[in-house]
Amino acid sequence: MGLKIPCPRCGPRPFSEFAFGGEVRGGRSPDPEGDFRRVYLRANAPGPQRERWFHAFGCRRWLVVRRDTVTNRIDPDEGDGLD
């Protein structure tokens, strides 16, 4: 329990060690077409969303988690840790 973020390298750590990187909006490859969507159209939906966090006071790497924007329940992402 608690507002901890599971870092795949450092384990679960208090969220205050992390910087928020926004919801995952694609962009795995440079994509002039997808850019517009990614920059201007954000889901901002209540409920679970995949989002990026930067472990600023830890391994200084990015990671992806699932967070429920209503309850703040945070679970690790099943993916490869990248968005």
Partner 1 sequence: MAWIEFEGRRVRIEAGDTVASALFRHGVRTFTRSIKSHRRRGLTCLTGDCANCLVRVDDEPGMRSCITPARDGMRVEREGGVPSVERDLLAALDRLHPLLPVGFYSKTFIRPRLAWTVAERLIRGATGIGRLPTGVRPRISQVRHLHVEVLVIGAGVAGLSAALSASEGGRSVLLCDEGEPGWLVAPGPTIERICSLAEAVQRAASITTLWHHAAVGIYEGPLVPLAGPERLVHVHPERVVVATGALESLQTFRGNDLPGVWLGRGAARLAGRHGLSPGRRAVIVAETAEALEHLGALGSSGSKLVAVVASDEIPAPTAGARVIRGGAVMAALGRRGVRAVVIRTERGSERIACDTLVLSTRRFPRDALLRMAADLPPSGEAVVGAGEVVAPGCSLDEAEQSGALAGRGEAVPISEPPAPGLGAEGLVCPCEDVSVADLERAWEEGWRSSEILKRYTTATMGPCRGALCGWALAAFARARGADALASARTTARPPARPVRLEQLAAGVHEVVEKRTGLHHLHVSRGARVDWSGRWKRPFTYGDWRDEHRAVRERVSLMDVGTLGKFLIGGPDGRELLERVLPCRVESLEPGRCRYVVVLDEGGYVMDDGILCALGDGRAYLTSTSGGAERMEAWLRGWADRWGLRAHIVDRTSALGAINVAGPRARELLSRLTDDPVDASAFPYGAHRHLTVAGVPCRAIRVGFVGELSFELHHPRSRGFELWTALEQSGADLGVRPHGLDALDVLRLEKGHPYLGQDTLPDDHPDKLGLGWTVAMDKPWFVGRVALQRMRELPLERRLVGLELDGDASSLRGMPLALDGRVVGRVTSCALSPALGRSIGLGWLRAVDGGFPQVLRAGSAQARVVPTPFYDPEGVRVRA
Residue 32 interacts with partner 1 (CB under 8 A): yes or no? yes
Residue 83 interacts with partner 1 (CB under 8 A): yes or no? yes
Give DSSP secondary structure letters for the chain.
--SEEEETTTEEEEGGG-EEEEE----SS--HHHHHHHHH-----SSEEEEEEE-TTTT--EEEEEEETTT--EEE-SS-S--
**Least distance (Å) from partner 1 to the CB of residue 82?**
5
**Residues numbered 41-70 forming contacts with partner 1, rule: CB under 8 A:** 52, 54, 56, 60-62
Rule CB under 8 A: which residues touch partner 1? 1-3, 14-15, 19, 21, 27-30, 32, 35-36, 38-39, 52, 54, 56, 60-62, 71-73, 82-83
